[in-house]
Amino acid sequence: MATVTLRDIVKIYGEFVAIKGIDLDIEDGTFVVLVGPSGCGKSTLLRMIAGLETISHGELKIGSKLVNDLPSRERGISMVFQSYALYPHMSVRDNLGFGLRISGVAKPEIERRRTEAASMLGLNPYMDRRPSQLSGGQRQRVAIGRAMVREPQVFLFDEPLSNLDAKLRNQTRVEIKRLQRQLGATVVFVTHDQVEAMTLADKIVVLHDGEVAQIGSPLDVFERPRNQFVAGFMGAPSMNFIPATVGEGSTIRAGGIEIAVPADRFDLPAAGTEVTLGVRPEDVVPEGHGTRPNLGADFTGQVEFAEMLGDQSLLFTSLGGSEVVARMQHPRALEPNEAVRFRIDGGRVHIFDRQTQNSLLR
């Protein structure tokens, strides 16, 4: 396997700058996920690593080799696409071995690699079937196997799970992570799904408008978002944002209530300064459902809508005119517009500068 190094990578289409000078170090054996909303540049960046898009400016190295001008086949990469890109007229066996055969790899070596991949991915019962005879999850495993047999330095995945239903997506996600650990592989994985990013990644790269918004471990990006964009993008459902002002001492005033926050957690501006309060749904605790935080503030809100999720519900209410989503553990039935008392966990809130939208966390 190998490292991947990007230095000041830029991609320009005519007058449009799609990628705006990205620096990124991907260590050997690391699972890196590029995540962000549609149009942020994540697939373009992956395609530049793959050699499917030219680099307008900057340097790209795989291992110690500068690969800017190398064709894909000489970069030591394998790519798994969203559409599987299998040959429909070929069996699983032939799909796995075709790329090696046209590259001139000897038959015994093709068979060795194909056998290892099929065994690891559980494809042995399907080797004589064609793609049309396979389920979506099985086709995706064949696509991954075809990438594996090339024994690349780097695996590239371009939203490979988006065509699968929810159950298959979860199963395949686990299989990909397990496989990466078995192989010790360097993986670059593109997704717009931040749940996939959180569960798969060793390192998350959040992209926004062609630039890196934040790089870090899943826990770091979730717990310590650098700005309001990252805070709102990472997490399902999204973080609640409420207009607020700084109070006296270590307090924040929002929606008519005063919320105590840890004195050592934020670099707060002067009292009266307008800020934005960020609260994740799991930190808005309905009375009687979950542990009541010691530090924080209570408010009563009418539940306009409750979304049942099995072992929990999302409650949609408001505070000071701003919509607030709360997560209710072990849900109960609610009457339309029922008033519920909530407590905001002051120890876990986020505060953002109103102008720059940057986090005020220390």
Whether residue 361 lies inside any domain: the answer is: no
Q: CA dist 116 to 77, 106, 112, 148, 235, Å?
A: 19, 16, 6, 9, 37
pLDDT for position 292 = 86
Say how many C-beta atoms besides its own lie within 10 A of residue 287's C-beta. 12
What is the predicted pLDDT for the residue at 167?
80
Q: How far apart, in whole angstroms, are the C-alpha atoms of residue 44 and residue 51?
A: 10
Residue 148 CB-density burial (10 A; 0-12 exposed, 13-18 middle, 19+ buried): buried
Same domain, 222 and 274: no
pLDDT in tens, the chain (362 residues): 789 999 999 999 999 999 999 999 999 999 999 999 999 999 999 999 999 999 999 999 999 999 999 999 899 999 998 887 889 999 999 999 998 888 889 999 999 999 988 988 889 999 999 999 998 888 888 998 998 898 899 999 998 888 778 787 888 888 888 888 888 889 999 998 888 999 999 999 999 999 999 999 999 999 999 999 999 999 889 999 999 999 998 999 999 999 999 989 999 999 999 999 999 999 999 998 878 888 999 999 999 999 988 888 999 999 999 999 999 988 888 888 899 999 999 999 999 999 999 999 99
In 125-220, which ranges are E strands?
Answer: 154-158, 186-191, 203-208, 211-216
Cα–Cα distance between 90 and 81 in angstroms, integer?
18
What pLDDT sits at residue 120?
A: 85
Distance (Å, rounded) from C-alpha 297 to C-alpha 293? Answer: 9
Judge if 199 and 326 occupy the same domain.
no
CATH number of domain containing 314: 2.40.50.140
- Asked if 277 and 347 touch (Cβ cutoff 8 Å), the reply is no
Number of domains in the chain: 2
Task: Clarify whether residues 205 and 250 are in a common domain.
Answer: no
Q: Prior bond to 237 cis, omega within 30?
A: yes
Tokens coding 163: 């065509």
| Distance separating alpha carbons of residues 70 and 350, to the nearest angstrom | 45
Enumerate residues 6+ apart whose C-beta is below 8 A from 178.
none
In a domain, 297, yes or no: yes
Q: How far apart are CA 110 and CA 101, in angstroms?
A: 7
Q: Are residues 84 and 105 in the same domain?
A: yes
Radius of gyration in angstroms for the set of CA atoms belonging to the chain, rounded to a whole number: 24
Residue 258: per-residue pLDDT: 95
Indicate yes or no: pTM above 0.75: yes
Residues 215 and 248 occupy one common structural domain: no
Q: Structural domain of residue 62, as residue ranges?
A: 4-231
Is the same domain home to 104 and 220? yes
| pLDDT for residue 348 | 95
User: Are 206 and 349 within one domain?
Assistant: no
How far apart CA 171 and CA 157 sit, in angstroms, is 16
For 340, phi then psi, to 5°, come to -130, 140
Residues 244 and 318 in one domain: yes
Alpha-carbon distance of 35 to 186, in angstroms, equals 17
* 226 and 110 within one domain: yes
Task: Write down the pLDDT at residue 188.
Answer: 96
194 with 249, same domain: the answer is no
Of 244, 193, 233, 223, the residue nearest 353 (C-alpha) = 244
